[in-house]
Amino acid sequence: MRKCLICEKGILEKVEDITLEVEGYIFIVKGERCSNCNEEFPFEEETQRTISIARKLGVWPEPLKLYRHLSKSGKGLVFRIPNDLEKQLKLNENVEIAITKVGNKIVIEAER
């Protein structure tokens, strides 16, 4: 029996009902669950199988990476969101966004 990597108190027990959600699709996989904190650890082969199926369904694409230049406006910088992303994410001038600095990255999220 292995101890939980998270709480270090519970024992990892084999289970067959871990739920993974990918873009609205639900996958039930095998793995281990902590008897104390209930943290779940899907088996690697189960995770890879889920990713493979999600790719076939078109819901696990490779990360989108765009390169854009910033523009100057007054004393700040402006970032333009491309029209295709605007449509996919259903953005408009009334949607509030959250901008977060994570290390050296900027994360932009639409607040819904």
pLDDT tens for 47-68 read: 999 999 988 888 887 667 778 8
| Tens of pLDDT, residues 67-110 | 888 999 999 999 888 888 888 888 999 999 999 999 998 888 88
Burial class, 33, CB count within 10 angstroms (exposed 0-12 / middle 13-18 / buried 19+): buried
Mean pLDDT of 22-51: 94
CATH number, residue 100: 2.10.260
Full residue range of the structural domain in which residue 95 is found: 71-110
Is 3 domain-assigned? Answer: no
Q: What is the pTM of this model?
A: 0.54
Please tell me whether residues 47 and 16 are part of one structural domain: yes
Residue type, 89: L
- Same domain (yes/no): 79, 53: no
Which residues fall within 8 angstroms of residue 5, CB to CB, at 6 or more apart? Answer: 39, 41
pLDDT of residue 63: 67
Instruction: Indicate the number of domains in the chain.
Output: 2
Does a structural domain hold residue 35?
yes
